[in-house]
Amino acid sequence: MILVTAALSIIGRETIFELNRRGERCRVLIPRVEKQEELETFFAHKQMDRGLIEFAIGDLGVAQSLPAAVDGVDAIALIYPALDFEVSQLEGLAAAVASTCADQPLRHIVHLSAIGADVDAPTRLGRLMGRAEHCVAGIGMPFTHVRPHMFLLMQNVRSFAAEIQRDRVLRLPLGHARTSWIDARDIARVIAALIVKPGNNDGVTLTGPEALTGQDIADMIGLAAGYSVTFEDLPPEKAHGRLLSNGMQSWLVADSLTMFEAFRAGVAAGVSPMVEQLTGSRGTRFNDFAFEYAWAFRQGEDAGQLSGWLN
């Protein structure tokens, strides 16, 4: 039995799908029973084997709710909820899981972290992820840290669908640098592939299969959506106000700008082979993602909108 936390997140529910496809039994953690219907709809849409799935009601932030969720499982896909909570809780969430699992014999914990996780990272999220990694490593069970570019999820681009439809412009503070965007579903495929194997006590760095310029991304969205889209480099000072006005929390705005400055310098241009090595598939190219979600970028398709940045 595999426990999947943050089951309502994009990566969480796609991890459940991948494990279900492999015939693995899952216990999925949701914060309250009313959320079960949302996942049941997803399971039905994906034609998943419902007999392999059971629900647990609990919250990573409520330590007393975790023992029942962990009882009887032999592996955990430790995924955090979308970052709409106070980020300082992140280390506490990992610590709560670590404490709960201290006496639970687990064959593997796959921990969703992020590229740049380090106690001395330049971003708040990076530092807290670094501390969370230490908590997981301290449990004393086999583990693997999965480290994608969380600021470069392809799904995040859908957050700008309304603006792209209105202005026919993709605005991001990327300069002329190339960046390797990754599909959240490829992250889920890696988690599912890893969790059924023995832990290697190591970190796995993930990126998308290609490094693209902002105009490359705009061109692909436009081609899929059926109208021309141009790329506009957003100066950091303008990006700050824009991200705040979009409702992003101030700490995440600061982290985003720090990361975008690094991206502008080319630090995200590298391409890791790990998705292909671990799953047998090269991973989703942005052009394929754009065509699959073209409905989200077509004028009038408001159903394609997402709010926030990390979903």
CATH number, domain 2-148, options 3.40.50.2300, 3.10.520.10, 3.40.50.720, 3.40.109.10: 3.40.50.720
What's CA 207's distance to the chain center, in Å?
12
pLDDT of 300 over the 60 cut:
no
pTM recorded for the entire structure: 0.92
Q: Give the per-residue pLDDT at 306.
A: 45
Q: Give the per-residue pLDDT at 151.
A: 84
pLDDT of 309 over the 50 cut:
no
A 10 A CB-CB count for 166 gives 9
Fold of 155-180+209-269+284-304: Rossmann fold (3.40.50)
Same fold, 2-148 and 155-180+209-269+284-304: yes
> What is the average pLDDT across 126-131?
89
Residues whose CB is less than 8 angstroms from the CB of residue 259 and which lie 6 or more positions away in sequence, other chains included: 116, 123, 151
- Tokens representing residue 112 in the block: 């969703």
pLDDT class for 91, splitting at 50, 70, 90? low
3-state secondary structure of 90: helix
Which sequence spans correspond to the domains of the chain?
A: 2-148, 155-180+209-269+284-304
What would the pLDDT profile of 100-124 be if each residue is shown by its tens digit? 877 778 899 999 999 999 999 998 8
Query: Burial, 140: exposed, middle or buried (Cβ in 10 Å; 0-12, 13-18, 19+)?
Result: exposed
pLDDT class for 96, splitting at 50, 70, 90? confident
pLDDT of 308 over the 50 cut:
no
- Quick one: CA torsion of 181, 253, 14, 203, rounded to 10 degrees? 70
> What is the average pLDDT across 267-293?
95
pLDDT of 214 over the 90 cut:
yes
What would the pLDDT profile of 133-175 be if each residue is shown by its tens digit? 988 888 888 999 999 988 899 998 988 888 899 999 999 999 9
Residues whose CB is less than 8 angstroms from the CB of residue 125 and which lie 6 or more positions away in sequence, other chains included: 83, 87, 90, 114, 150, 251, 252, 255
> What is the average pLDDT across 227-232?
96
> What is the average pLDDT across 210-220?
97
